[in-house]
Amino acid sequence: MSLPNILARLDSKIRPLLTILPSDLFASLYSSTSRWYADLASKDTHLQPIVVPSGLSRTISGLTFRSPICNAAGMYKYAEGYHKSYLLGAGAFLAGTTTSSVRIGNKKNGISLPFTPYPHSHSASNWLGLPNAGHEAIAKKIHTFPRYKDFPIGASVSADPGMQQNLAIPLLIEGITLYIKASVDFIEINESCPNVEGHKQTDMSSLDPELLIRLEVISKQIIKKYNHIPVFVKFSNDININQLPELLQVLIDLGYSGINVGNTSINYAYYRDKIDKRDIDLYDYFTNTFGGGLSGRILREDSLSLCYSASQYIQSKQLQKEFSIISTGGIQNGSDINNAIKSGASLTQWYTGYYEQYGKHTYDIYKKIYEEIDMKIF
C-alpha cells in the first residue's frame, strides 16, 4: 500500500479521536497538512485504471462524461490530480478555481490556508482564499495533458476578488480564452466563493447588478464566439430559493449551458443545529475566527432542494436548448448521487465527501460509489 493510502486510512480512524485536542490546535494541524497531503496524493498514480460501468455515461451539451461524478473546484487548484482522477474512475476532471493574478491564499493567527474537518458531522470548513497559480499557468499545464475518451477537462475560473469590475472582467475573459485555446472541454464560472475579500456572495434576494454585467459580457464575448464550449455557472448553497427562477431565466436567455448549485454556505447559525455536539466547540472556534465556507453532509438536504427547484423550473419552460444542473454539496456516496439525479441533476461534484471516502476505500473510492448507484435511474 502506498504512503498516501496508509496516511488516509490512518487519518480516517484517528480523526474523530483528535477532536479532544484544543480547537485551535486541531485546526492548525489540519490546515498545515492538508495541502501537503493533497500534493502527495496527486502524485500517487501507480495504479491500474478501474473499469467504469458503461451504463453510467451521460451526454451533456455534446460532451460524454463516463460517469455522473467528478471532483469539485478547489480539490485540484493547480490541476495536479488529472492522471490520478482518470485512473481512479472519475467521470471528468475540473481544474481551479483560478484568477488572472497569482494568489497565495489566506493567513490568520499564524495559520495559512485555514481548514478543518468536523469528523462526527461528516462536514468541514475552509477559509483558503482562492490560492492558485493564475489562468495562464494552469491553461499551459492543461495544454500538455494527454486526452482520455469520455473524460472531459473543465476549468473553474473567477474574476479577481477586490479588483474593480472594469478591470476584472477583461482579465476574466482573457483567462477563459486561454483555457479554450488550451482545449478544455467546458468552463465553470465560480460565483460562490465566500473566502475572499471583495467577492460578494449574494443571497439572491435580488440579482446583483455586477453579477448580471459579468454574465452578459461572458455571454457576448465567450458563449456567442465559442459556442462549442459549454459554460456553467456555480452558485452557493445560500441562494434564495424564491429568486432561483429569475436567476435561471437570466442564464437561459444568455445562452449558458447550465447551473451548479449547492456549493458551500456561510449561514453559520442555521447549520450549527446540524453539527454533531462533539464538533460544536471546533465549529464555533473556526466560524468565529475565520468564517469561511461550510461543506459536507450538513448541506445535503438544502442542496437537493435547490436542485429540485431548479429542475422544476427548467421542465416548466420546455426549452428548445439543453440546460443542465450540476449538484454540489453533501455528495458523499452513491445514495447521494441517486437522490441528486432523481432531483433533476445531470452531474454531481464532490470535495469533502471525496476525502472522507478516500480514507475508507483509497483506490476503490469510485468503484465503491458506482456499486451504490441505482442503474435504473439512468
Question: Residue 4 — very low, low, confident or very high, per pLDDT cuts 50/70/90?
Answer: confident
The answer to whether residue 87 scores a pLDDT higher than 90 is yes
Query: Is it the case that residue 200 has pLDDT exceeding 90?
Result: no
What are the DSSP E strand ranges found in the chain?
Answer: 58-60, 63-65, 69-71, 93-98, 107-108, 111-112, 115-118, 123-126, 153-157, 186-190, 231-236, 258-263, 293-296, 324-328, 347-350
Residue 248: what are its φ and ψ, rounded to 5°? -60, -40
Mean pLDDT of 238-243: 93
Copy the grid coordinates of residue 167.
478591470
Name the band, by pLDDT with cuts 50, 70 and 90, for residue 138.
very high
Q: Kind of pairing, strands 231-236 and 258-263?
A: parallel
C-alpha cell at 271: 447549520
Give the pLDDT score at 65. Answer: 98
Three-state secondary structure call for residue 77: coil
Provide the CA 85 distance to its chain's centre, in angstroms: 14
pLDDT band at 199 (very low <50, low <70, confident <90, very high): low
Tally Cβ neighbours within 10 Å of residue 146: 7
Closest Cα partner for 73 from 96, 89, 91, 93? 96
Could you give the number of structural domains in the chain?
1
What tens digit of pLDDT does each residue of 248-262 get?
Answer: 999 999 999 999 999
Least confident stretch, 36-40, 63-67, 103-107: 36-40
Q: Is the pLDDT of residue 205 over 70?
A: no
Indicate the pLDDT class of residue 355, thresholds 50, 70 and 90.
very high
Computed over every residue of the chain, the mean pLDDT equals 94
The four Cα atoms 181, 250, 316, 57 give a dihedral, to 10 degrees, of 20
pLDDT number for residue 206: 67
Instruction: List the domain range (segments joined by +) for residue 75.
Output: 3-377
Q: What is the mean pLDDT of residues 27-56?
A: 89
Mean pLDDT of 183-211: 75
Q: Place 61 in a pLDDT band, splitting at 50, 70 and 90.
A: very high
285-341 residue pLDDT tens: 999 999 999 999 999 999 999 999 999 999 999 887 899 999 999 999 999 999 999
Q: Dmax of the chain from CA atoms?
A: 56
CATH number of the domain that residue 102 is part of: 3.20.20.70
Average pLDDT over residues 100-110: 96
Report the percent of the chain where pLDDT is more than 90. 87
Please compute the mean of the pLDDT values over residues 86-92 and round it to a whole number: 97
